[in-house]
Structure 1
Amino acid sequence: MHYRELKEAWSELTAPGAPFEVVEIPVRGNMIRMFKNAPPSVRELWLSTAAYGDRDYLVYDQDRLTYAQAHAQVNAIAAWLFEQGVKPGDRVAIAMRNYPEWLLIYWACVSTGVAAVGMNAWWVTDEMEYALQDSAPKVIFADAERLARILERPSMTGGAKVVAVRTEAPTGVIPYAEVIAGGGAMPEVSVDPDADACIFYTSGTTGVPKGAQLTHRGCIANLLNMGFSAQVQGLAVAKATGVAPNPAAAPIPAGLLTTPLFHVTANNCGAYATTAAGGKLVLMYRWDAGEALRLIKREKITAMSGVPTMARELINHPDFETTDTSSLMTLGGGGAQLPPDLVGKIDGQVKTARPNTGYGMTETSGIITAVSADFFVDKPESCGPAMPSFEVKCVDDDGETVPPGQVGELWVKGAPVIKGYINRPEATAESITDGWLHTGDVARIDEDGFIFIVDRKKDMVLRGGENVYCAEVEAAIFRHPSVAEATVFGAPDERLGEEVGAAVVLRPGMELTADELRDHLGGLLARHKIPRYIWFLNDPLPRNASGKFLKRQLRETLKPEAAA
């Protein structure tokens, strides 16, 4: 394989004077890596896309917006927000499905130094209330389903103005049409690179979500990391084969967004990359492999990325062989490791597309690593090398760096690392040490610098790309009066990678069915967090010497077919 050429290409592209030159700069008391030629904020990125004018930008069902039309609406939203007294440093919440308005509102916020709060569209009323009270937005944009939850409990808004998107606006709620009716120009502001661009919530190990503060510098660094990954691997292959790529032959990108925009996978990776290149973003109401195939054919999609199960369902769909997918150039995903067999299947079954993946976190504004094509096929169990704006190391339980090739918790440091968690200084201090983010993932780094994730240190289930923290589900289970003991862990699942499992011991004399427990949890947790597998046990749960439940033992002994 071309690992020597990869190192050469890497050095060339990051050298002084090169497009991806890397420098060290002081940020929040630490020296971190950043691209020298990066624009200072996301505002510059969005404003630069006005040059794409009449190109298609956002496609949803029968709706189609050009860049010029998108800029007109973004300008109008930004002007309206400022008329309402919203100013740089304030927050605006977006609580809706992947409608075009999601991105228009997002660009209006980040272009004016206002932090966009991405509300998880799957949250139930309690979860929405927590995040709104935690983030204290000045304005909330909500679609029909989220608006219904707000109207259930109006006090959750904290007095924020509420705008109804793609639904009727009841009394006291502002119609979206009114927001954009006045037009207006983009307000003139200067955006600090270290200002919050957005707040994205991650499930909390302590039972409540944490609002991660992604900065403008971090979001821009992530975009350049993705651009670098594509260029460095292409250049390495060109050096090895002598066949140079022809940029002029590349089509205008067309990306199919299959995952929610309140996650970095769809927003910071999918939407940013396609938007920066003047490409077209095609949005779906919900994931459906047959509909995805139809859109790939109709819109000449060049890239589809989602959680691994989506790529598998696409190539296994009965219509796959008869659908024209020849526009596809990359197919892959993030949010979970692509199983090695799927890497080979994508490479073999999709004639024009190469497999790709990235490993990252909300806390790194997107990717930490990226790998594609020949390198991914050669090392299908790896998630690739860390991108140039990161330093990485594997450490033992004392925080000491382990020798090369040995396993330890992966720590990363660089421009994309979040500022911290809003209102959670203890959680921030626990997660970030002298600029080093503790990923909670156990990894090893091979002689080529490729990272292999081997386990998770965090008590978490990774269900179809969604982090479900066990403590949060356990806390909700324990709110049922019949429960004496409970522990939650990941159960293997062929489609989603893992499903949520719970082992439960009831109080003496109490009775409870799995459906009754799920009904109880339905009012407290988003649907994807509710255990699919529930085992009711008669004996106390096994514990170690320090009193912690032995989750691994339960995972190995409790079989899905025995669950309720």
Structure 2
Amino acid sequence: MTFNADLHRSTLKLPNRLARNGSGVYDSALEMSVLDAGPEYDRGPRSQQPTMVFIHGFGGRAAYWEYQLEQFQLDYRVIALDLRGHGYSDAPTAAEGASYDVPELVADIAAALDQLEVPQRFILVCHSFGGALSAYFLKQFPQRVSALVMIASAARFRLRLAGRIVLRMPPRIFDMVRKLMPYVGITAARIYPPSHVVYLQNRHALLPWDGSEYLRAIAVPTLVILGHRDILFDEAAYKEVARLIPGAEELVVPVSAHQVMVERPDAVNRAIQRFLQMQSDPAELAERRARQKAERRAARKQLEAERPWLKFYDARTPYRIKIPAAPLPRLLEATARRFGKTTALAYRGGKIDWRELDRQANRFAHGLLDLRIKPGERILLALPNIPSLVIAYFGILKAGAVAVLSDAATPKEILLTRMADAGVVMLVTTTNRYDDLRDELQSDRRAAGLRRVIFASMIDHMGWREKLKFATLHHVQEGHWLPWFRQDKQHRRHERRYLKFKQVLGRGSVAPTELVQDVGDIAVVVYTYGASGTPLPVALSHRNLAANALQLRHWLPESRPGDERFLAQQPLSSAYGLTGLLHLGVYLGATLILLPGAELEPLLKTVKKMRPTYFPTTPRMVRELAHTPGVRRYGLASIRVCAVSGSPLAQEIREEFEKLTRGRLVEAYGLTEAAPAVLAMPLAARRIQGVVGVPLPDTEVKVVDLDTDAELPSDTVGELWVRGPQLFSGYDHGPAGAAGPGASALNLIARKISKERLYDGWLATGDVASIDEDGFVSIIDRKSNMGIRNGRRVFPRQIEEVLFEHPAVAVAHVKWSPDEEGVQHLLAEVLLHHNMKLSADDLLKYASKRLHADALPDSIAVEQKNTTVLF
């Protein structure tokens, strides 16, 4: 898998590197963005790890080194810095004391290396003007560098005439050019230096630099790499570098210009690898590599002993993941750069590519900022799977706000209560809900905190044929037309609160916002399904969501970045859809085929037309597809992987579905509190009846006693506890000072349940399960569904599985129901397949041969399946 620089990004705060308010006293911190990666199993002190540091040149950024970082992270800790004014680092002005001269830039580098605990001696690799900074660094700290690699660097940086003219343009012209960049396809304009950085660094660093003295003083082994067609600077200035450095080796790479390490990465990597090997004694080098290999093997074996399920992972799936250090908007921006022209969203004949999606999200973010949204404020999204949901979601995150997600069909009363509970200041919903919500939004106390309501239309972003069809058959008939434009006098004074989605987009710029978010900040509040009571608000951070999507990305190693098509029928407003579709799609640069409803016929037509390759769904949909007459003609064979989560799936149904699709059905287990994926079946693992899977990378599980919470041995039934980077830190209590009818009651419930279910980083899932000696987990039922009969624990799900094994049964549902005296009884409801007949007595006799007498249902209601119904 290609190295993704944004997964390894973090931000350093370098103290006393800025002057506050132009005082001239350096007493403020400079934020510097860095990429930091290394060997998977090297857990020793960072100050003792073999390290390579990469310094980019003028106008560059740390991500230019991604090919070298990917190559050398296997044996070294690799660090690449965004210098001040470049990439995602701060760009202070002259008023803040910034001069961008060589001593200042090198002082930043030294401060960053100290904070990163880089060892006293390390390998330094630099490009272009980074060579000047490296030479100056060596003059200041001659004992810190063990070897030096200079790529496309020069003794003096005199640009040719055209370059000199460009750099001497007034800053205002530079600002205009930078603002125009997104309109010509350069969406990540923020990573390019602003005009004042270009002006100051050119004036104080590039123009006055003469490296002759510094290059002569270099006393460490040095490799100089040049591009054969590099004409950015004078050829004599390039050649002078190797001549001035004592004992330097020069290598000219054919068919390359100034960006040699990007244009010919393999050739550069081979040259660096050979150069580094020559700096060590062959015997010592072999010994060190053997020692490292043994240490990694030992660490791997130890981890496998602690977590036996790791042995069943795909060979390409890592045991550990690099915890994402970049917030979700940064991942979207990286995907927009990498897969700019790949379709991101396909919706009823319309398409939006990743570059355009990022631009639209930027516009929405700027529109929200123009509406005076503040970082940390809550915006409720109640939208179906339409492009406006995705644009608004990322726009909210880019504006530094928190997205509160609710299903598009959430009843009005629940929606109003959630507004009050979460302290929502804006609502984004569909136009056809205007009539339903209008009176309450104006008079209900629960909506008193709303400043704006934004209405998105289902017709937006459709292809022209579908748009014409929708406008003719649905737009007015189903209330998608906004009636407030009729100037209803009764509600006129409230209409200033209402905006169209396109109006918000029209307020914004396509350039990224300047907000810097922390990965620990809350990104979304999403609600549980309420299977065991009141739906609870789960607060998930950028780190929780990005980590879980990365775990799923590694779980599907055969995925083809930029070439996958996700069938997005699961609501993106749920944790399942948010991570398993949207965030995973961002990691892969996949196309999300949006379906705003759960109807079977549109789904099958979409499959036939769009040929999806990945389909996350539920067991009931799998059962329905497997028993739909003529389903094969819709081309389900395009689906290579179908991820199923929610409840156990019968072996017969699984086999039938895999035969239809010719792909692989992957069962999984998750919960909203874990963003949501926790367990999944390895693609190549042997199927075990009743087993849902093993923990995802960096995820731990255990089973505890149902009464004492003591950890239980393998193959023992108890409550499942989980721990991992995707796990939330607690239920949402609303923002500080939030109030409203019902808000305090839900907050008290959330606080109480948080204390009951969270223990030192472990979450008590409330599910009864068992784990075998290999770490495979079997989910039995919800703890709340458990009943006691004659001292024996009885679970409705186990009864359902037995009933479902009968060939005549299509669906079985078992539940506890109290009678008038409060005595609990087991009631079973069964739906038979088409044209099948079976009496309740016969089914009870069938079950009695497979269940203990205490587990037999007290009554069975049998219904004939006459029509296609989704259960």
Coarse TM-score class (shorter-chain normalised): 0.7 to 0.9
Question: What SS does the aligned partner of 1:138 have?
Answer: strand
Deviations 1:260-290 (A, max 9, x none): 1111111111121122211110111312333
Deviations 1:131-174 (A, max 9, x none): 11111122110113544442241123233110011044433411
Stretches of structure 1 lacking an aligned partner (at least 5 in a row): 1-12, 25-32, 235-246, 461-488, 505-536, 544-548
Pick aligned residue for 1:221 from 547, 562, 570: 547
CA contact (8 A) 1:255 1:281 kept: yes
CA contact (8 A) 2:626 2:653 kept: no
Cα 1:426–1:498 change in 2 (3 A) is: farther
TM-score (norm 2): 0.49
Matches of residues 474-513 of structure 1 in structure 2 within 5 Å?
503=817
Matches of residues 96-111 of structure 1 in structure 2 within 5 Å?
96-111=383-398
Pick aligned residue for 1:175 from 483, 497, 500: 500
Please provide the CA RMSD for this pair. 3.3
Distance 1:229 1:251 in 2: 17
What's the CA shift for 1:321?
2.3
Deviations 1:179-232 (A, max 9, x none): 11133132112212221111011145785321100111110110111022223x
CA contact (8 A) 2:817 2:826 kept: no
Matches of residues 255-404 of structure 1 in structure 2 within 5 Å?
255-351=566-662, 353-375=663-685, 378-396=687-705, 397-404=707-714
Alignment match, 1:42: 328
Pick aligned residue for 1:78 from 343, 352, 365: 365
Distance 2:516 2:537 in 1: 24
Alignment match, 1:450: 776
Stretches of structure 2 lacking an aligned partner (at least 5 in a row): 1-38, 43-72, 76-295, 304-318, 458-479, 485-494, 734-749, 787-795, 829-853, 864-871
Cα 1:199–1:497 change in 2 (3 A) is: farther
Question: What SS does the aligned partner of 1:560 have?
Answer: strand
Distance 1:500 1:556 in 2: 8
Pick aligned residue for 2:407 from 120, 135, 139: 120
**Greater shift in the superposed pair: 553-562 or 448-457:** 553-562
Question: What SS does the aligned partner of 2:681 have?
Answer: strand
Deviations 1:375-396 (A, max 9, x none): 2x62242221101222211000
Alignment match, 2:41: 15
1:165 correspondence with 2:474 = no
Distance 1:125 1:419 in 2: 29
What's the CA shift for 1:561?
4.6
Give the aligned residue type for 1:415: P
Alignment match, 1:440: 766
Distance 2:607 2:620 in 1: 17
Question: Normalized per residue, which structure has more strand?
Answer: 1
CA contact (8 A) 1:255 1:304 kept: yes
Give the aligned residue type for 2:569: T
Distance 1:63 1:458 in 2: 45
Larger Rg: 1 or 2? 2
Cα 1:440–1:503 change in 2 (3 A) is: closer
What's the CA shift for 1:338?
2.5
CA contact (8 A) 1:331 1:346 kept: no
Alignment match, 1:529: none
Question: What SS does the aligned partner of 2:647 have?
Answer: coil
Cα 1:457–1:497 change in 2 (3 A) is: farther
CA contact (8 A) 2:342 2:562 kept: no
Alignment match, 2:53: none
Give the aligned residue type for 1:50: A
Cα 1:262–1:560 change in 2 (3 A) is: farther
Give the aligned residue type for 2:822: L
CA contact (8 A) 2:636 2:660 kept: no
What's the CA shift for 1:120?
2.4
Question: What SS does the aligned partner of 2:329 have?
Answer: helix
Distance 1:555 1:103 in 2: 47
Matches of residues 197-208 of structure 1 in structure 2 within 5 Å?
197-204=523-530, 207-208=533-534
Q: Which runs of 4+ in 1 moved over 4 A?
A: 21-24, 203-207, 489-504, 549-555
Alignment match, 2:823: 542
Alignment match, 1:191: 517
Matched residues, percent identical?
Answer: 24
CA contact (8 A) 1:95 1:118 kept: yes
Cα 1:561–1:312 change in 2 (3 A) is: closer
What's the CA shift for 1:14?
5.3
What's the CA shift for 1:37?
5.4
Distance 2:527 2:752 in 1: 16
